[in-house]
Amino acid sequence: MIWIYGSRFAQNGFNSVPSVTNSNIVKLVDGYSVYDCEMHNDKTTNTQLTCYAPALPESVYQIRVYVN
């Protein structure tokens, strides 16, 4: 599990306007490989994200956060 702290994250996936979605996507990047980090929406706020990282080989990873 990874906790990411920051600001202006989408608080959750619910929006009263059906055509607009509020979501956060987290990717782990190692060189040319990109891995999804599954969001744990119960622990998501506008200043904190929590996601489940898959089993990955030992390396240094860059975390990319996409907010929609």
The domain ranges of the chain are 2-67
Closest Cα to residue 46, out of 23, 15, 63? 23
* Angle, vertex CA 19, rays to CA 39 and CA 43, nearest 5: 20
Under the banding of pLDDT at 50, 70 and 90, the label for residue 66 is very high
Q: Is the pLDDT of residue 19 over 60?
A: no
Q: Which is more confidently placed, 13 or 28? A: 28
At 11, is the pLDDT very low, low, confident or very high (cuts 50, 70, 90)? confident
Give residue 24's pLDDT band: very low, low, confident or very high (50, 70, 90).
very high
How far the first Cα of the chain sits from its last, in Å, is 22
